[in-house]
Structure formats: structure tokens, C-alpha cells
């Protein structure tokens, strides 16, 4: 098999099992985080009195990733720009406006930031760098497979778009406003998992400190946000079975 076809095949295969990489990183990162809690002397650059601010920064990074996804999903029409599904690639039109005029893979950029937030909690430089490398290798193949599909389907139109729009790092100089309205219904359907999962992960990291420090109390604000987003997830999950969030063009 030629390298081009092999990379495309690997990308399609990795997409089907894309949920396993975050879980693996999460488990390893949680272990690194607990090591920092149990052996703080191994992390001399981490000053405990600034821990709350560091947590806020990490959470902001994660929420920024979620915001990127929300913006992308909210302004995306139905079946655009190569949505990879279990039955194959889907793309009725090529998205070239809005955030797609800044970066070709905004959802994967959002995913990266969402997972970088928890990774930062380890305060371990080599773990964070390893996460970035693994994410790059893993998703580079997925992006390659999706772009191969788009190139075959849209031809010269895709090539012109890809020549002026970077794949992963946004270029804010050539923003083209989208012509469609923002859809909160689509966001609520598609992004409910990310919001609740993000706060759940941060809350679990915080609560796990009690393994080594029984006197530790989980932060009440973080715990409250975890419970609130969990309840919201259950409500939206139920509403998804109705027509309240249905939109024919989204």
C-alpha cells in the first residue's frame, strides 16, 4: 500500500477509536497529578500558595477549547466539511466562512485545548510535551484522511481553500463572516458531553487529593459546577429524544 493510502487508512481507523486516546492520557495524567500531591518535593517550581490560580488558568484553557467547539458547531450547517462517521465521510458543502476561514480543523483545535487543560494540572513539563506530541501524531492522520476525502470531492475548490487557510494554527488576518445564524439548539445537542465531562474531570482530580490528604475538601464552586453541568447533561439527553432541539437544516 502506498504511503498516501496507508496514512488515509490509518486516519479512518484512528477516528473510529478516537475516544481511547483521551482516556489513556487522562489515566496517566491523573497518576502524574497524584504523584505531585504525594511527592511535592519532586516539583520545586510549583508554589502551592498559587495553586488556585494555576487551576483557574488550566480550567480557562479547557473552557477556551470548549468555546472553540461551540462557535464551530453553532455556525456549521448540516453535513459540511467532511464529517467522519461510522458509515464513512459526509460533506454536502465545503465550509469556508466563519472559523473555517481561519483554520481548517477548528474542532480538533478545540479538542486539543480541552485536553490540554487537565494535562496542565500535572505540572509536569515532560508529560505536557508528550501529550502534545501524541495528539499531533494521532490527529494528524485523522486530519489527513478527512482532507483526502474533501480533496477528492471538491477538487480545485478545496485546494484553493487549503492554500490560504492553515490546518491547525489559526490565521486571524483573513476572517470571512458566515452568512448563517448561530444555532444554540445544535450546540446543546452536540456539546453537552464536553461541558459536563470537563468539569467532572477537574472535580475528580480535586477530590482525589483526599487519597493522600484526608483533610482536603473539594472546592465548593468546582463541585457545584460539576453537579450543575451533570444535571444539565441529563436534561439535554432527555430533550434530545424530543423535537424541541430539532432543526431540519442543522
Residue 79 has pLDDT above 90, yes or no: no
The pair phi, psi for residue 82, each rounded to 5°, is 75, 60
Domain boundaries, the chain: 3-181
Report the percent of the chain where pLDDT is more than 70: 86
pLDDT digits (tens, 9 = 90+) for 214-230: 888 888 999 999 999 99
Residue 87 has pLDDT above 60, yes or no: no
* pLDDT number for residue 170: 93
Asked if residues 7 and 144 have their Cβ atoms less than 8 Å apart, the reply is yes
Rounded-to-integer distance, Cα 33 and Cα 195, Å: 22
- Chain-centre distance for alpha carbon 132: 13
In 10 A of CB 178, how many CB atoms?
Answer: 18
Q: Mean pLDDT over all residues of the chain?
A: 85
In our burial notation (b when 16+ CB lie closer than 10 A, e otherwise), range 51-77 reads: eeeebeebbebbbbbbebbbbbbbbbb
Helix locations, 94-219, DSSP H: 106-120, 125-154, 156-164, 184-190, 192-207
Cα distances from 224 to residues 217, 218, 228, in angstroms, run: 13, 10, 6
Query: Quick one: CA dihedral 145, 146, 147, 149, positive or negative?
Result: positive
Residue 190 has pLDDT above 90, yes or no: no
Say if residue 10 is exposed, middle or buried (CB neighbours under 10 Å; 0-12, 13-18, 19+). Answer: middle
At 212, is the pLDDT very low, low, confident or very high (cuts 50, 70, 90)? confident
Q: Give the residue, 131 or 82, on which the prediction is more confident.
A: 131
Rounded-to-integer distance, Cα 144 and Cα 147, Å: 5
Say if residue 233 is exposed, middle or buried (CB neighbours under 10 Å; 0-12, 13-18, 19+). Answer: middle
Q: Which of 5-19, 32-46, 71-85, 93-107 tops mean pLDDT?
A: 93-107
Residue 84 has pLDDT above 60, yes or no: no
At 8, is the pLDDT very low, low, confident or very high (cuts 50, 70, 90)? low
Provide mean pLDDT across the span 193-220.
90
Rounded-to-integer distance, Cα 44 and Cα 122, Å: 13
Rounded-to-integer distance, Cα 230 and Cα 186, Å: 19
Report the percent of the chain where pLDDT is more than 90: 37
Residue 151 has pLDDT above 90, yes or no: no
- CATH code reported for the domain at 3-181: 1.20.120
Provide mean pLDDT across the span 188-209.
91
Give 81's DSSP letter: S
Amino acid at each position: 500500500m502506498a504511503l498516501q493510502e496507508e496514512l488515509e487508512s490509518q486516519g479512518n481507523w484512528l477516528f473510529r477509536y478516537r475516544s481511547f486516546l483521551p482516556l489513556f492520557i487522562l489515566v496517566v495524567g491523573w497518576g502524574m497529578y497524584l504523584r505531585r500531591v504525594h511527592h511535592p518535593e519532586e516539583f520545586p517550581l510549583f508554589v502551592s500558595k498559587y495553586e488556585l490560580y494555576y487551576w483557574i488558568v488550566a480550567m480557562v484553557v479547557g473552557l477556551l477549547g470548549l468555546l472553540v467547539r461551540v462557535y464551530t458547531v453553532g455556525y456549521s450547517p448540516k453535513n459540511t466539511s467532511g464529517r467522519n462517521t461510522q458509515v464513512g465521510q459526509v460533506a454536502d458543502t465545503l465550509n469556508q466562512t466563519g472559523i473555517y476561514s481561519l483554520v481548517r480543523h477548528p474542532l480538533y483545535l478545540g479538542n486539543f485545548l480541552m485536553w490540554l487543560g487537565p494535562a496542565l494540572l500535572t505540572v509536569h513539563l515532560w508529560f505536557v510535551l508528550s501529550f502534545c506530541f501524541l495528539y499531533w501524531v494521532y490527529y494528524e492522520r485523522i486530519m489527513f484522511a478527512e482532507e483526502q476525502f474533501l480533496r477528492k470531492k471538491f477538487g480545485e475548490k478545496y485546494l484553493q481553500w487549503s492554500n490560504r487557510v492553515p490546518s491547525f494554527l489559526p490565521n486571524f488576518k483573513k476572517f470571512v463572516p458566515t452568512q448563517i445564524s448561530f444555532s444554540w439548539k445544535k450546540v446543546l445537542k452536540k456539546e453537552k458531553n464536553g461541558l459536563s465531562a470537563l468539569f467532572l474531570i477537574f472535580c475528580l482530580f480535586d477530590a482525589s487529593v483526599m487519597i493522600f490528604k484526608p483533610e482536603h475538601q473539594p472546592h465548593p464552586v468546582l463541585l457545584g459546577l460539576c453537579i450543575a453541568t451533570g444535571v444539565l447533561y441529563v436534561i439535554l439527553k432527555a430533550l434530545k429524544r424530543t423535537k424541541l432541539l430539532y432543526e431540519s437544516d442543522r
